[in-house]
Structure 1
C-alpha cells in the first residue's frame, strides 16, 4: 500500500487511529470501501494486531467505520453524515459537560432564525415534505421512539429547508440530546409534546412570512424549554442511580 508510516511510539493505537482517520478524510478510502486486513495493516504499521484492533475500534466508535461479520466481513468506511455531529454533542451531554440549559438557550436563538430562513427559502418543492411531516404527527405511533421521531421531524425538515447545513447539523444535534432525556425519563410523551403544535410555524413558513415564522417558533420553544430543563434534573438522578 505505502500509505502509512511505521509506528514507533508508546501511543501506538492512537497514532494508527490518526493515520487511518487522515486517510479516510483525504479520500484514500472512500465511503463503502473496505480497509486492508488486520494482517496487512500490522505489516505496514509494524505494530501488533492488538494495536490495530484498538485503532479500528476507536474509528468505529468515532463513526468512521462499520464492522461487518461473516463472508466479505471486515472494517468498512462509513458515509459521514450530520448524525456524527449529533453523536459528539450527545457524548458531551451524557458526560455532564453540556447542560440542557445551554442547549435550550441555543435552540431559542437558532431555531427561530431557522424558521425565518425556511420561510424565505420556501417553494413548491418543499410543500410535500413539510405537509407529510405535519400529517405524520397525527398517525398512530408504533412506539415511543417512533413518536419522538414523528413529533420532531418538522424541526428537521425546516432546518433542511433553511438552506444552511451548519444550522441543520446544530438543530439535529439538539434534537438528539432532547430525545435522550425524553426517552429516559418521560413515561407519557403526550404530556410534554402533542401532535399539531407546529401548525402555526408551518403555516407561517408556507405563506413566506419570515417574521411570523420566527415568532411562532420562539413561542413553541419557550414553554417546552422550561420543561426540558427541569427534566434534565430527573435524567441526571436517574443516570446516577443506574450507574
Structure 2
C-alpha cells in the first residue's frame, strides 16, 4: 500500500529571523480590505428626487427665470410627497441659488433670474472659511473687471448705455437724499449692469457674485473721504460709448484700486479692534 503523502501547508510567505512566517502579499491585501473604507450605498432621499424634478423642468424650458412655483400644498400634491420633504427640497434649491423666497401676499418660491446665487455662496464660503483673503478677492475682481470693460466697449448696445446712465442718475439722487445704504446698493448694481452689457452670462454671474460678497465690506467701510464714484462712472460711460477701450480700462482700474485700498484699510482697523476686545475679555 503506497504511503500517503502529507498535504503541504498553505504558503504564508518567507521565514523571518526567528522562524516565523512573514505575511504574504495576499495577507496585506486582506488587511487593507478589512478596514471597509466605503459605506454601503443607500437609496436617494425624497428631497433629492424633488430637486431633480424641478431642475428637469428648468432644463426642458417648462420653468423659466422669474416663474413662481405652485404653492406648497399644490406642489406636494402634484409630486405626491410630504410638505416636510418639499420644504427641504426648496431650501436646498434656495441655497444653490436656483430659487428665491419672497414674502407677502404675492410671495412664494420663484425661479431666480440670475445664475449667480451658487457662485456667490462659493465665494462667501471661501472668504468666511479663510480659504481666501479679502485682498485676494478684490484682486480677482480687478482682473475680471478689466475683461468686462474691454468686452463692454466692444459689445454694449444703446439700451445697455441707457441702463448704466439711469443707474448713475439714481445713485446721484440717493446721494443727495443722504440714503447711503440704498445708494451703495445702487452703486454696486452698476457692476452687474456693466457685466450684462457684455452678453456673456458667465461673466455676469461671476461679477455679480463678487459684487454681492464685497458689498458688505463696502457698507461697513462707508464712502471714502473724497468718493469719486459718480465722476468716475460718468467718464466710464462716455468712454464705452466712444469705444475707448484703453481709456475705459484705465478709468475703472484707477477707481477700483482706490476703493480696494479704502476697504482693506477699514478691514485692518476692524480686525485690530476685534483682537483688542478679545484680549480684554475675561478668560
Report Cα offsets for 1:31-50 as digits up to 9, x if no partner.
32427543554x46xxx654
1:121 aligns with 2:159: no
Larger Rg: 2
State the match for 1:134 in structure 2: 168
> 2: distance between equivalents of 1:68 and 1:114?
31
Aligned length: 227
What residue ranges of structure 1 are gaps of 5+ in the alignment? Answer: 1-7
Compare 32-41 and 96-105 and name the one that shifted more: 32-41
- Taking structure 1 as the reference length, the TM-score comes to 0.72
SS of 2:225's equivalent in the other structure is helix
SS of 2:70's equivalent in the other structure is coil
Change (3 A) 1:192 1:50: farther
> 1: distance between equivalents of 2:154 and 2:102?
44
Change (3 A) 1:34 1:103: same
Q: 1:19-98 to 2 correspondence within 5 Å?
A: 19-27=52-60, 30=63, 31-34=67-70, 36-38=74-76, 41=79, 43=80, 50-66=84-100, 76-85=109-118, 87-92=120-125, 93-98=127-132
- Taking structure 2 as the reference length, the TM-score comes to 0.63
> 1: distance between equivalents of 2:206 and 2:255?
18
Q: CA RMSD in A?
A: 3.7
> 1: distance between equivalents of 2:45 and 2:172?
53
Compare 223-232 and 201-210 and name the one that shifted more: 223-232
1:216 aligns with 2:251: yes
Change (3 A) 1:105 1:17: farther
| Alpha carbons 1:133, 1:150 under 8 Å: kept | yes
| Alpha carbons 1:21, 1:59 under 8 Å: kept | no
Between 1 and 2, higher relative CO (CA 8 Å, sep ≥ 6) is seen in 1
> 1: distance between equivalents of 2:218 and 2:159?
32
> 2: distance between equivalents of 1:177 and 1:154?
15
Change (3 A) 1:60 1:210: closer
What residue ranges of structure 2 are gaps of 5+ in the alignment? Answer: 1-40, 278-283
State the match for 1:111 in structure 2: 145
